[in-house]
Amino acid sequence: MRTWIFPTKCFILIIIMGTLLLGCNMPEDATGIYVWLDVPLNGLTIPVNQEVNIEGHASSESGISKIEVLIEGAIIQVFDDPTINGDLAQFSTTWTPPGIGEFNIQSIAYSADGEASLPDNSVVHVGDEPLDPSPTPVITEVTPTEVITPTLTPTVTPVVLEPVVNFYAEPASISAGFCSTIYWHVENVESVILGGSTQAFDGFYEDCLCSTQSYPLTVNHLDGSQEIVYMTIEVTGICATPTPPPDNTAPPVPTQYSPTNGYNYPSVASFVTLDWESVSDPSGIGEYQIEIQKHPGDNNWTPVSFSPIVGIAGSETTISVDSAIYRWRVRAIDGVGNMGTWSGWFTFTVPLS
């Protein structure tokens, strides 16, 4: 979890300033579809009733067709054919938290051919002190005083102090999945903004990354000018997704439906349909196989000429028969070649003509 830590309590601006990721070097074997949240910064703490600006960008070699914004896994807005600025698609919306708590904001981008990116996440913490939009004015009774003519003194030219701005991360380079701490310290300025919110003059917070990330620090100087200082944390490698274990489990044994075991056909038949239960497997079912044997009444079972039947996609097959006693069984083979156990033998009788 990433947490903002401030030496002193600060006021949060209502207007969230958007930021852009600079110098983002993704691994060559990544999906090629990227999305990132510029604001709010991960770990940001805001008061109750504070509206949150959600802004970000996405990129893909084939173009971006859609961007989704989610809160706690629920979609709050979909941007179809988002605005393109250069090689980047951009999106922006607002959201007001329903109350106190911790909320996970996500964005997911889709390329022009429908492939989805990995989600980018930003967790915000909503505190328990709501904003007071209308503070009660304090009226102070003024007592008239005697007007005294001041004695004129020479004007002293004030000393202009040079601003001090320090903005850095330790460590400045990490492996994917690890964390770095971002520090800032300013002096002799009007205000400082990070993550779209006004911050204390000294502060730090931790961020855990899977890709290179750039951060802008906006400094408002005493003379009314504004300066933006950028700091980048370099990330090497990727946050690997665990590979699922191989499927070595055979599919279940199908249940035979018809003809039922011991069934006697009342009249001569030329064709019989064998029917069984469809089974499921994590790797899918590749095929069903059938074995069929018969005897003329002497219990000397021999395979029919077309047995076994393999490569059956569905849960039934029709066979040609003549007058004899038959028995059949079925098994399933999954999508990676795991062979299931044969079912038991079911018999049926086709009478003499």
What are the structure tokens assigned to 294, written together? 């018969």
Say yes or no: do domains 4-131+163-236 and 256-350 share a fold: yes
Average pLDDT over residues 179-197: 94
Q: Average pLDDT in the 17-35 region? A: 50
Q: How confident is the model at residue 190 (pLDDT cuts 50, 70, 90)?
A: very high
Sheet holding 179-187, edge to edge: 4-5, 202-208, 179-187, 164-170
- Asked, as a colleague might, if the bond just before 40 is cis with ω within 30 of 0, I would say yes
Task: Report yes or no: 309 and 316 within 8 Å, Cβ to Cβ.
Answer: no
SS3 190: coil
What's the half-sphere exposure (Cβ side, CA atoms, 13 Å) at 278? 9
pLDDT at 315 over 70: yes
The pTM score is: 0.37
- For the stretch 93-125, pLDDT in tens is 999 999 999 999 999 999 988 899 999 999 999
What pLDDT, on a 0 to 100 scale, did the predictor assign at position 300? 95
Identify which of 254, 279, 269 has the alpha carbon closest to the alpha carbon of residue 344: 254
pLDDT above 90 for 352: no
Q: How confident is the model at residue 191 (pLDDT cuts 50, 70, 90)?
A: very high
The neighbouring-strand residues paired with 331 are 289
Taking the C-alpha atoms of residue 299 and residue 279, their distance in angstroms, rounded to an integer, is 32
What's the pLDDT score for residue 85? 83
Give, rounded to a whole angstrom, the gap between the first and last alpha carbons of the chain: 80
Mean pLDDT of 259-283: 91
Length of the chain (residues): 353
CATH number of 256-350: 2.60.40.10
Q: How far is CA 197 from CA 22, 245, 291, 332, in A?
A: 20, 45, 73, 61
Q: Tens digits of per-residue pLDDT, 39-82?
A: 999 999 999 988 999 999 999 888 899 999 999 999 999 999 89
Query: pLDDT tens digit string along 128-155?
Result: 654 454 555 555 565 666 666 666 666 7
What average pLDDT does the structure give for the chain?
85
The structural domains of the chain, with segments of one domain joined by +, span: 4-131+163-236, 256-350
How far apart (Å, rounded) are the C-alpha atoms in residues 341 and 336?
A: 15
- 4-131+163-236 belongs to which homologous superfamily? Immunoglobulins (2.60.40.10)
Beta bridge partners of 126: 46, 101
pLDDT of residue 149: 66
